[in-house]
Structure 1
Amino acid sequence: MPGWSPGPPIAEAMESFTNGNVRLLKHERSIVAEDDLDQRWQEATGESVSEVIFLSKHTAVSKRPALTVHPIGVPHLKEDETPPQGGTPGWAAIPSPRIGPWLRLMQKIAVEQGLVPEFEVTLEATHHGPVTSTPTMFVEIGSTEDHWGRQDAAQAIALVLWKGLGLEDGNAVGTWQRNCEKVLLGIGGGHYVPRHMDIVIKDGVWVGHLLSGYSLPMDMPSQVNVKSSEEVAGMWKHSIKVSYEATKAAFPGGEVIAHLDHKSFKGWQKNAVTCFLQEQNIRIGKPSDFL
């Protein structure tokens, strides 16, 4: 892939490369430890940063080969908790508007490159750090050391970047330029958010944060006939609120609509979430509302 040149040196033992308005950084540290990389780059070079895309290794208990994309944050953690994989407790990054479009681009390229069905192409729920101030997403190869070294998987990700950032022909994929479009805020489900994935994989769907069950910690109420969100304690309300606000910031002029994985909730949990969304004037949508 032509066009890359050595970039400006920075004082943190990182190599950088440039191609048009894209900067590629190579470093040896853990990505989740790279807090404020966007601000640090601007301070070191004087260049403003409009978005951050982290290329990373994905691990999974299943060890299934996978190409994944996801937003980041740990909005469910209390202030006195230590995030296990970076970030700041209670924080959600501004999600990159490219997440949905790049998921679909990744699926297309993976099929063309013969990686499917061996590799699963999937979203992941919002999780881990590092802290950023600009729209951010992770793009990952998983799920074991054997897969991380696969040249065909790396080539597929390189093509996603090449095409997705418009380096091939100037036509970037996933640039948010429209007003009044609907944006999915996923609430509930497992780490790979299958119910939300069913919607986002379809053309034209925009997606922000994806909160799985572990990002919605709820204390069991004294009675299960919940009629108000105040009856259920826990960080779940904060998690939804900051994730909604971050998603709105990523899609100015868009309509952020919550999509619930209903079957992942117990009755009292669904009642509490529904009540809270209504109290916050956050619309709850059906799958057909996003298509």
Structure 2
Amino acid sequence: MSTVIISSTQDSASTNIKKALLMKSGWEEQGLFLNQTYYKNTSFSDIYMVTINDKTIIHEGIENQIQKYLRIRPTEAIFISRHRSKTGAPSLTTHPIGNFGPALFGGKNNTVSPPMPHHMTALLRLINDNAKKAGLYHKVCFEVTHHGPYMSIPTLFAEVGSNEEEWEKQKPADIIAQSLICLFESNTKIKESAKDIPVLIGIGGGHYAPRFTDVALGKNVAFAHMIPSYHINDNNINFELLKNVIETSSPIHGVYLHRKALKKSQQTQFKTWCKELEIPVVSSKYFTDVS
């Protein structure tokens, strides 16, 4: 069971997060991977950090490269990255990866990668707590599933957004790094409690998944893939794709519909599909509050 953290030399936010990780935890240089030094963590077992020289979202097959050249078989991947948006609003985000349509930014058409629901939801909460303690002004949220690369192993992205000014700052990168270290410290607890925490697919709403973020911060649930309204409105979601999303995220305990963001006809369609797939449509009132 090895976790690999992946950084990119083409990404200043990624570089700053990597720098913070190296400062905040113990690492040993192991040699070179793609002409960049790679590291093994000395504080936590089986955690490695590698660096690539191209964009993270288009670097396909890195898990296979790591296994081939480093003789390490990664079972989970965490990409540390920048986030770009038109508004440039400061943000700290985490999300699963995949495409609900054409693969315009890496990955495969109409294909999602296995998510890390329990770790991703725990990371969201840690980022939120650490950002508040540090007095950061950044919005902390999920993003819905989007972009590549396609990964055969459970994967998440942790990002600093959303413009060059924010990417160059060390403080937001420090928060992502500190939150990842806290995540590794909690790894055993997260895995032990996973059987008691229901995993949900989120459907509906905008790119920054406001409803799913609120539910994840307030309720004892974990989110896997999240499908935004814009893909539904563009008719990119069909029964087979939903089935694939659920199977890729297995085990799934329910589908959470952001009802206010969906038309009645869309709600009806998803309820019909979920019934056929024998997956319940759930409400947040079914779940206990985060203590």
For Structure 1 versus Structure 2, the TM-score category normalised by the shorter chain is 0.7 to 0.9
Matches of residues 1-291 of structure 1 in structure 2 within 5 Å?
1-10=24-33, 12-20=34-42, 21-74=46-99, 76-77=100-101, 81=102, 83-96=103-116, 97-115=118-136, 118-166=137-185, 171-172=186-187, 175-177=190-192, 178-179=194-195, 181-202=197-218, 204-216=220-232, 219=235, 235-248=237-250, 251=251, 255-291=252-288
Give, in angstroms, the shift of residue 203 of structure 1: 5.2
Matched position secondary structure for 2:66? helix
Tell me by how many angstroms 1:195 deviates.
1.5
Q: Which amino acid in 2 is paired with 1:184?
A: L
In structure 1, distance between residues paired with 2:107 and 2:243: 17
Secondary structure of 1:7 counterpart:
strand
- Shift of the 107–180 alpha-carbon distance from structure 1 to 2, 3 Å rule, reads closer
Deviation sequence 1:225-262 (CA, Å, 0-9, x none) = xxxxxxxxx543233211111111xx5xxx52100011
Q: Provide the C-alpha distance between the structure 2 equivalents of 1:179 and 1:143, rounded to a whole number of angstroms.
A: 35
CA distance in 1, matches of 2:200, 2:249: 9
In structure 2, how many angstroms separate the alpha carbons of the residues matched to 1:213 and 1:174?
34
CA distance in 1, matches of 2:198, 2:67: 32
Q: 1:141 to 1:264 in 2, by over 3 A?
A: same
2:17 aligns to what?
none
RMSD of aligned Cα (Å): 1.8
Q: Give distance in 2, aligned partners of 1:256 and 1:211.
A: 16
**Structure 1 unaligned regions, length at least 5:** 220-233
Structure 2 CA distance for aligned equivalents of residues 5 and 110 of structure 1:
28
TM-score, normalised with respect to structure 1: 0.84
Shift in CA distance, 275/174, structure 1 to aligned 2, threshold 3 Å: farther
SS in 2 for 1:50: strand
Question: What displacement does 1:2 show?
Answer: 4.2
Whole-Å separation in 2 of the counterparts to 1:173 and 1:106: 19
For 1:47, the aligned partner's letter is: I
TM-score normalised over the length of structure 2: 0.84
How many Å separate the matches in 2 of 1:215 and 1:208? 17
Q: Which runs of 5+ in 2 are unaligned?
A: 1-23
In 2: Cα distance, 1:134 partner to 1:290 partner: 28
Provide the secondary structure at the position in 1 that maps to 2:110.
Answer: coil
Cα contact 2:112–2:248 (8 A) shared by 1 = yes
More strand by share: 2
Identical-residue share of aligned pairs (%): 27
Determine the C-alpha separation between the residues in 1 that align with 2:29 and 2:130: 28
User: Aligned equivalents of 1:133 and 1:14: distance in 2?
Assistant: 23
Query: Number of aligned pairs?
Result: 260
Indicate if the aligned counterparts of 1:100 and 1:174 stay in contact, CA closer than 8 A: no
Distance 2:58 2:239 in 1: 27
* Distance in 2, Cα, partners of 1:108 & 1:175: 17
Q: Residues of 1 paired with 2:230 and 2:272: CA distance?
A: 20
